[in-house]
Amino acid sequence: MIRNFKQILEKARNTGRKKLAVPAPRSRRVFQLLKEAEKTGLIIPVPVGALDEAIAMAQNGDVDLLFQGDAGMEDFINALTVKEAGIAERESLSYISLFELPSENRLILLTDTLMQAFPGIKQKVLILEHAIDFARILGIEKPRIAALSTVELVNFNVPSSVDAAVLAKMSERRQLKGIIDGPLDIDCASSRERSLRKGLESPVAGQVDIYLLPDIEASYSIAEVLVFLGRRILAGALMGTKVPVVLNPRFESSYSLLLDMALASIRV
């Protein structure tokens, strides 16, 4: 099982360099990142004049990976999800943010932290399926999943608590792989002791691999708080594409983007 970012980089390097299409690179940030990724042994950069050309190369199998580069996020996602591109459908996309837990020598996954603003239950199922598949790439065969809400009991006035209960029952009936419990608030999910203190006997409390966040307001905020206040290193993976795609979120550091490329590489 992969337990830290160093192991992710090692695994990616062991798979060999991947051809990375980069549409119209122009910023110093992107050029420096490509230089470092090439030096590290991860990629062979393939600069392309236009976004549509880069997507066509990925679609035709001329490159292994596709990078957002200096393209705007909205323009990039729009270009990926037009029917003619054949790369993805917007409703099928989700984003996973990974963080290290050094004290426990393991990784945790948060999702969806970027793509789907207020997913319904059907989209949450898809988001979870993406995260479970990705966890397996990391060697987590049966991930423990916390479906988070603001409460730990079903409250019909809190839709995320109802969704979480449905997902937990689907897991119990083996409609979803992994062990899902919910609704859980963050303190119960992160600590078995606090869970028991509230009278909950949870199979995932204190050992969660995947945190399913209820919406983009919660998930994006938690990811940014961990990065900027918690001083945690972040890595991310876009899911739901037919070709591994590396985004360029502006709040990610150069090292985080290097890890993003490594994560995309091990999915090829």
- If asked whether residues 18 and 68 sit together in one domain, one would say yes
pLDDT at residue 115 above 90? yes
Q: Which residue has the tokens 């910023």?
A: 27
Query: Can you give the pLDDT at residue 250?
Result: 85
Query: Can you give the pLDDT at residue 39?
Result: 95
- Kindly report the average pLDDT of the chain as a whole number: 95
Query: Can you give the pLDDT at residue 7?
Result: 98
CB 148, CB 182: distance < 8 Å: yes
Nearest to 184 by CA among 156, 213, 157: 213
- If asked whether residues 17 and 49 sit together in one domain, one would say yes
- If asked whether residues 180 and 251 sit together in one domain, one would say no
Host domain of residue 13? 1-88+241-268
Query: Can you give the pLDDT at residue 85?
Result: 86
* Euclidean distance between CA atoms 197 and 28, whole angstroms: 52
- If asked whether residues 226 and 267 sit together in one domain, one would say no
Query: Can you give the pLDDT at residue 105?
Result: 96
Higher pLDDT, 83 or 259: 259
Nearest to 128 by CA among 107, 105, 152, 144: 144
Q: For residue 77, which phi and psi values (nearest 5 degrees)? A: -65, -40
CB 206, CB 191: distance < 8 Å: yes
- If asked whether residues 82 and 107 sit together in one domain, one would say no
62-103 pLDDT per residue, tens: 999 999 999 999 999 999 999 888 899 999 999 999 999 999
pLDDT band at 130 (very low <50, low <70, confident <90, very high): very high
- If asked whether residues 210 and 267 sit together in one domain, one would say no
Query: Can you give the pLDDT at residue 61?
Result: 95
* Euclidean distance between CA atoms 54 and 182, whole angstroms: 41
- If asked whether residues 68 and 135 sit together in one domain, one would say no
* Euclidean distance between CA atoms 56 and 172, whole angstroms: 42
Query: Can you give the pLDDT at residue 254?
Result: 93
pLDDT band at 251 (very low <50, low <70, confident <90, very high): confident
- If asked whether residues 232 and 252 sit together in one domain, one would say no
The pTM is what?
Answer: 0.95
Query: Can you give the pLDDT at residue 268?
Result: 85
- If asked whether residues 130 and 209 sit together in one domain, one would say yes
Query: Can you give the pLDDT at residue 73?
Result: 95
For the domain that residue 177 is a member of, what is the CATH number? 3.40.718.10
CA distances from 131 to 2, 212, 258 (A): 15, 9, 20
- If asked whether residues 167 and 258 sit together in one domain, one would say no
Mean pLDDT of all residues in 38-55: 95
Query: Can you give the pLDDT at residue 148?
Result: 97
155-169 pLDDT per residue, tens: 999 999 999 999 999
Other C-beta atoms within 10 Å of 116: how many?
23
Q: How many structural domains is the chain composed of?
A: 2
For the domain that residue 41 is a member of, what is the CATH number? 3.40.50
- If asked whether residues 230 and 108 sit together in one domain, one would say yes
- If asked whether residues 170 and 254 sit together in one domain, one would say no
DSSP H or E segment with residue 119: none
Q: For residue 193, which phi and psi values (nearest 5 degrees)? A: -60, -45
